[in-house]
Amino acid sequence: MRGTAWLEARLGEGPQQLGQIWIAGGALRHIDDRDAAEGSLAPLADLAALRETVKTDDGGNFRPLRGAPTLRRGWRSPILAAPALARWLNVLYPGALAFAELGGALPVTPFEETARRQTGMYRLLHAATPEQARRTIEEVCDAGCLRQRLWSGGPARAEGLPLLCPEACNYFVGRCRESLAAARA
């Protein structure tokens, strides 16, 4: 998986933070559990258990954005070698390691281009104005995602390793469509 070698190099420099995750000693846990005793954290056995953990927040609400700062606390991963660590991190923050490794070679897609290629029920986005896109950015990205938007000049938001966002995601596209549909109604 792309990003594995990059992760290994970063871990060679010491423990790291990626979004809300603390990576130390080959294991993962929530950054706010950094100093928690190991015995106080529930061990997650596998990727399926991790997927269950990232699916909802503390209140049981679905997390449509993996970049949302609402990751549950109270768990720890097993001690993993770099390839497995990369797979676990790819569940927590899909694409993050690959995007970081690509760095300047990561293709960035402006929102206008994302909007233009939509079809079917998302064709509505062809009519999105910069103002409507800006409002959705405020609601979805600024209010609810730790990733750094490269496609609209967003600020670096996360501490630690880079958490890059090269293009408006499908959740953003869906939310933007909802507001366009509501404005038409």
Partner 1 sequence: MTIIGGPSTKRQKGPFGKFRKPGLFSKGPPHSRIPPSCRAPAPTPPWSSPGTAPPSTPTPAGPTYRHADLLRESGLFAEVHECFWKEEPNFRHVLEGVDAPRVYVVPDFISSGYFTEEVIPRELGLSGPVTRRGEQEIYYCEPVGLHPAMTGVLLERAAEVTAGAPPDPARTALFLIGHGTGLNDNSTKVVYEQAARIRERGPYAECHAAFMEQAPFIKDWRETTALPHVIAVPFFIADGLHSYEDIPVLLGMTENVREHGFRNPHPIGGRTLWYASAIGTDPRIAEVVLAQVENFDARHGVA
48 binding partner 1? (CB under 8 A): yes
**Which of 13, 39, 40, 45 contacts partner 1 by CB under 8 A?**
45
Please identify which residue in 22, 99, 111, 151 interacts with partner 1, judged by CB under 8 A. 99
Binding segment (CB under 8 A) for partner 1, from list 32-40, 42-50, 74-82, 155-163: 42-50
Residue where the block lists tokens 């596998």: 46
- Please state, in angstroms and rounded to a whole number, the distance separating the CA atoms of residues 76 and 123: 42
The 111-130 site mask, x for binding partner 1 (CB under 8 A), equals ------x-xx----------
Judged by beta carbon, residue 18 or residue 97, the one nearer partner 1 is 97
Looking at this protein, which amino acid is placed at residue 74?
G
Task: Return the ∠ at Cα 84 (arms to 28 and 36), rounded to 5°.
Answer: 10
Determine the interface stretch with partner 1 among 24-32, 33-41, 87-95, 148-156 (rule: CB under 8 A). 87-95
CB of 182 to partner 1, least distance (A): 11
CA distances from 152 to 29, 70, 113, 128, 138 (A): 31, 23, 12, 15, 12
CA atoms within 13 A on the CB side of 40: 9
Distance of alpha carbon 52 from alpha carbon 11, whole angstroms: 26
- Specify which residues 75 forms β-bridges with: 42
Residues in contact with partner 1 by the rule CB under 8 A: 1-4, 45-49, 51, 55-56, 60, 62, 64-66, 90, 94-95, 97-99, 102, 106-107, 117, 119-120, 166-167, 169-171, 173-175, 178
